[in-house]
Amino acid sequence: MLRRLWRGCVFSSQGLTDTYRGELSFRMEVWSGSLYVLFGYWFWPLLRWEILLLALSFLLILMAELVNTAIERALERLHPERHELIGLSKDAASAAVFVAILFGFVVVGSVVIHRL
């Protein structure tokens, strides 16, 4: 069981590394985390719920981008030609990232409003 868990961690880290190297949007989102840190520094001290929501919103953005990348890569491999349904599927996966980013803005806005 531990071996299986270890292998899962290795595969996950490979997925993170490959996505970071191969996807500009993922790299940009990872580095946008520094904006979260600057925001936290600016409004320090933060309450526990504020720290938690900021961290979770950032992780949600990264998770949505990872899923978006996986869907896009799989669809490009399975159906490399242009197709309307494939395009709609890729757009929906991209919209999930957009919604996660909007959630991040809502969290940041909530913290700002709470502080004012």
Q: Considering 29, 65, 81, 84, which one is annotated as catalytic? A: 65
Domain ranges of the chain: 24-115
24-115 topology per CATH: Helix Hairpins (1.10.287)
pLDDT digits (tens, 9 = 90+) for 5-16: 999 999 999 999
The answer to whether residue 37 scores a pLDDT higher than 90 is: no
Record the pTM. 0.90
Active site annotation includes 84: no
The 10 Å Cβ neighbour count of residue 10 is 10
Question: How far apart, in Å, do the first and last CA atoms of the chain sit?
Answer: 50
Residue whose pair of structure tokens reads 């900021």 in the numeric block? 54
Alpha helices per DSSP H over 1-116 = 2-22, 24-42, 48-78, 84-115
Q: How far apart are CA 68 and CA 82, in angstroms?
A: 18
